[in-house]
């Protein structure tokens, strides 16, 4: 499915600020995997996502998706088969467009010609039905501008936009971190539903170690631009939060530096 | 009455210009200075072709020429990474030479002895007053342009343009090439603006190389008047409101000059002041509200201590 081979990325090379964000990353993700990605701040998690999405290109290495080399493919082209939800609810939606217009924009991904009407009854009904499943009352507010919605509601719209046409790969970049605990839980639950329904191959960055162990079927841990842990199956099921922290300390020779991870 | 009719004609004609400026200024969120050059480009082409006896061709040529000018700005911005406002300024400056070239190196042309589209329409409708015919021609073009724009912004391409101005990252993430939407928005906007210039040349039977100076502010003033005075929720409503704004702007100008509040050369200053004031309005409102709130809080605190 997704294969990363020897991916390296260095920011500001040959200066005092040189930062090796990714060092020789080798990672293979199988179809239908739901991988949670953990690691302290600056470990390279988001850089990894940026390289996969094409925000910037790696200095070295290859990215294969379904056997096709996408290392140098333009960002907007990859976006037709890679969906991404960000931490910031403002990033995934256009605030001055209505809910239905936002969804239509994502749905019509060059499906029809550019001069066809963006909205039609059939699609709108389908959007409404899809939104209704999540019981947030959004289905009755199709003509509301997205800028008027709460963060949680916007994330639901973003999630739906990314998955209306099921992508080959879904990347979730701490997509619940900016929400209050109740909304965060709700979005997590919706995420699991969506992933299960379309059997999406998913990678999710989280700072919540409990969520990381309870969600999905595989967990990888990053530190200083390296993959330091990759667990799945039985081994992962038996792992407790304390074990994970202990593993982190032993692998990286330092204690986990982020209180947020321990407290949530 | 003459003043009323004249302002109405101008208001409707320049309404198209305001629509073009609305696309860049409000929808794309970038004030595009190319407008000043592309307006004159349309004006110059139309004047030259009208003198040679092809007034319709003059109008038809303005649209693609303006669109091309917009594309130049777009390419400078998207492909070469030049700041959008600076890209517009560069194109505008370059167009000054192109416009002079088009006008055969003379800074003004008279179309008094040529057949313009307005004269053609008058000949077709001899039973109508000339000014009424002018109004009808202006209305025809502006109405057609507005309807097409309203329809266009309901299509997928139109929606992409609106979304690009709103949240570029999201458009890219929806697998839409942002560079293309920016280019098409600039081409569309400048095409319309050049067409306005072409009509104005034939309307006033006169073309001057400096006609475009300050035209951006004229368009912005119309857009802003429409936003201050009219309540609009949808984009279609906003586009119609912009036309009304343009007509109101022309009335304000006509009144100001008629009652000689100020000499004719003061117009640009007045327009600039209107725009500056309207743009400053949100900030002024905010600081006023803050002052009132602070005063109330202080009064409340004083009352508390006195108790």
pLDDT one digit per residue (tens) for chain A, 264 residues: 899 999 999 998 888 888 888 988 999 999 999 999 998 888 889 899 999 998 889 999 999 999 899 999 988 889 889 999 998 988 889 999 999 999 998 887 556 677 788 888 888 898 999 899 888 888 899 999 999 999 989 999 999 999 888 999 999 999 998 888 888 889 999 999 999 999 999 999 998 888 888 888 999 999 888 888 888 888 888 888 888 888 877 777 666 655 555 544
Give me the number of domains chain B comprises.
2
- Token pair in block for residue A236: 């992962």
pLDDT at A262: 52
Specify burial of residue A226 (Cβ count, 10 A radius: 0-12, 13-18, 19+): middle
Q: Which of A78, A84, A113, A114 to mutate to test the interface with B (most CBs of B within 10 A)?
A: A114
**What residues of chain B, 49 to 68, have a C-beta less than 8 Å from chain A?**
none
pLDDT at A259: 53
End residue of a domain, out of B261, B277, B296: B261
B238 and B280 co-located in one domain: no
Q: Would you state the pLDDT for residue B60? A: 95
Among B261, B276, B298, identify where a domain stops.
B261
CB contact under 8 A, B156 and A92: no
Q: Is the dihedral of CA A37, A41, A46, A47 positive or negative?
A: negative
Q: Are residues B119 and B253 in the same domain?
A: yes
Could A91 and B167 be called an inter-chain contact, meaning their C-beta atoms sit closer than 8 Å? yes
Find the closest chain A residue to B177 by CA distance.
A76
Mean pLDDT for B260-279 is: 78
Residue in A76, A110, A119 nearest the CB of B172: A76
Q: What pLDDT is attached to residue B198?
A: 96
Q: Which residues of B touch A114 (CB under 8 A)?
A: 155-157, 160
CB contact under 8 A, B172 and A116: no
Q: How far apart are CA B43 and CA B60, in angstroms?
A: 12
B25: CB partners within 8 A, 6+ apart: B31, B32, B219, B220, B223
Mark whether B215 and B274 lie in a shared domain: no
Phi-psi region of B229 (alpha: psi -120 to 50; beta: other; left: phi over 0): alpha
Q: Which of residues 128-157 of B touch A (CB under 8 A)?
A: 152, 154-157
Of B157, B167, B169, the CB nearest to A95: B167
> If you compute the radius of gyration of chain A from its CA atoms, what whole number of angstroms results?
19
CB B34 within 8 A of CB B92: yes
With contacts defined as CB-CB under 8 Å, which chain A residues touch B235? none
Contacts of A110 in chain B (CB under 8 A): 175-176
Task: For residue A118, list chain B residues with Cβ-Cβ distance below 8 A.
Answer: 154-156, 158-159
Asked if the Cβ–Cβ distance from A117 to B156 is below 8 Å, we say yes
Q: Which residues contact B242 (CB under 8 A, 6 or more apart)?
A: B15, B18, B19, B22, B222, B223, B226
What 3-state DSSP class applies to A251? helix
The 10s digit of each residue's pLDDT in B109-140 is 999 989 999 999 999 988 988 899 999 999 99
B161 in the same domain as B68: yes
Alpha-carbon distance values, B83 to B22, B67, B79, B152, B216 (Å): 20, 19, 11, 27, 18
CA distance A204 to B209: 60
Q: Are residues B75 and B175 in the same domain?
A: yes
Could you tell me the two tokens for A98? 């209505």
Range of the domain at B300: 263-307
Residues of A within 8 A of B173 (CB-CB) are 79, 83-84, 92
Q: A77: which chain B residues are within 8 Å (Cβ-Cβ)?
A: 175
Judgement on whether residues B164 and B303 belong to the same structural domain of the protein:
no
Are B182 and B306 part of one and the same domain? no
CB-nearest partner of A94 from B152, B166, B178: B166
**Gap between the Cα atoms of B268 and A149, Å rounded:** 42
**Maximum C-alpha span of chain A:** 59
Q: Outline where DSSP puts E strands in B176-290.
A: 206-208
- A with B: how many residue pairs have Cβ under 8 Å apart? 80
Shared domain for B43 and B106, answered yes or no, is yes
The CATH number covering residue B68 comes to 1.10.3470
Q: What is the pLDDT of residues B148-196, one digit of tens each?
A: 999 999 999 999 999 999 999 888 888 888 999 999 999 999 999 999 9
Question: Given this model, what pLDDT does residue B200 score?
Answer: 95
CA distance to partner chain A, nearest, from residue B175 (Å): 4
B174 and B271 in a single domain? The answer is no
Closest CA to A22 of A58, A55, A53: A58
Same domain, B195 and B307: no
Residues B271 and B190 in one domain: no
Shortest CA distance from B26: residue in chain A: A96
Q: Are residues B299 and B193 in the same domain?
A: no
Q: Any residues with CB less than 8 A from the CB of B187 and at least 6 apart, and which?
A: B67, B68, B70, B71, B74
Query: What is the residue-averaged pLDDT of chain B?
Result: 91
pLDDT given for residue A57 in this prediction: 92
Q: What is the pLDDT of residue B260?
A: 66
Q: Does A76 sit within 8 Å of B166, measured CB to CB?
A: no
The crossing angle, in degrees rounded to 10, of helices A151-163 and A99-107 is 30
């Amino acid at each position: 499915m997704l294969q990363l081979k020897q991916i390296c990325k260095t920011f500001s090379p040959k200066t005092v600020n040189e930062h090796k964000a990714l060092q020789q990353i080798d990672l293979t993700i199988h179809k239908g995997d739901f991988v949670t990605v953990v690691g302290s701040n600056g470990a390279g998690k988001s850089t990894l996502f940026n390289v996969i999405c094409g925000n910037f290109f790696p200095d070295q290495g290859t990215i294969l998706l379904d056997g096709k080399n996408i290392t140098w493919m333009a960002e907007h082209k990859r976006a037709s088969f890679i969906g991404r939800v960000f931490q910031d609810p403002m990033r995934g939606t256009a605030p001055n467009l209505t809910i239905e217009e936002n969804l239509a924009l994502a749905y019509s991904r060059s499906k029809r010609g550019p001069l066809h009407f963006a909205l039609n009854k059939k699609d709108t009904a389908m959007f409404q039905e899809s939104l209704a499943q999540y019981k947030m009352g959004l289905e009755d507010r199709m003509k509301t501008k997205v800028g008027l919605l709460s963060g949680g509601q916007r994330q639901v719209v973003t999630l739906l936009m990314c998955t209306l046409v099921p992508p080959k790969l879904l990347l979730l970049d701490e997509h619940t971190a900016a929400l209050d605990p109740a909304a965060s839980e709700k979005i997590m639950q919706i995420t699991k539903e969506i992933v299960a329904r379309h059997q999406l191959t998913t990678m999710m960055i989280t700072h919540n170690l409990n969520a990381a162990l309870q969600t999905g079927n595989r967990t990888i841990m990053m530190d200083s631009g390296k993959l330091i842990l990759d667990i799945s199956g039985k081994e992962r099921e038996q792992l407790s939060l304390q074990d994970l922290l202990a593993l982190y300390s032993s692998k990286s020779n330092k204690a986990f530096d982020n209180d947020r991870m321990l407290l949530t | 009455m003459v003043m009323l009719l004249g302002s109405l004609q101008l208001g409707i004609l320049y309404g198209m210009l305001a629509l073009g400026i609305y696309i860049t200024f409000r929808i794309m969120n970038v004030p595009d200075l190319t407008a000043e050059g592309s307006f004159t480009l349309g004006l110059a082409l139309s004047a030259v072709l009208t003198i040679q006896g092809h007034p319709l061709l003059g109008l038809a040529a303005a649209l693609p020429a303006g669109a091309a000018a917009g594309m130049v700005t777009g390419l400078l911005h998207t492909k070469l990474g030049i700041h959008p406002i600076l890209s517009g300024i560069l194109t505008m400056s370059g167009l000054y030479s192109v416009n002079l070239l088009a006008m055969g190196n003379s800074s003004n042309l008279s179309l008094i002895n040529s057949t313009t589209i307005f004269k053609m329409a008058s000949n077709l409708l001899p039973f109508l007053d000339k000014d009424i015919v002018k109004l009808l021609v202006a209305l025809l073009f502006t109405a057609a342009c507005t309807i097409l724009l309203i329809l266009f912004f309901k299509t997928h391409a139109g929606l992409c343009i609106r979304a690009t101005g709103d949240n570029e990252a999201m458009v890219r993430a929806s697998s839409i090439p942002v560079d293309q939407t920016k280019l098409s928005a600039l081409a569309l906007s400048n095409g319309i603006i050049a067409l306005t210039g072409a009509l104005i040349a034939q309307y006033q039977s006169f073309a001057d190389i400096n006609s475009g100076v300050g035209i951006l502010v004229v368009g912005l003033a119309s857009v802003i008047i429409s936003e201050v005075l009219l309540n609009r929720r949808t984009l279609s409503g906003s586009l119609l409101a912009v036309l009304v704004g343009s007509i109101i702007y022309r009335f304000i100008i006509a009144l100001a000059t008629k009652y000689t509040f100020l000499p004719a050369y003061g117009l640009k200053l007045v327009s600039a002041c209107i725009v500056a004031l309207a743009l400053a309005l949100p900030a002024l409102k905010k600081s006023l509200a803050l002052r009132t709130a602070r005063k109330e809080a202080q009064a409340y605190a004083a009352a508390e201590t006195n108790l």
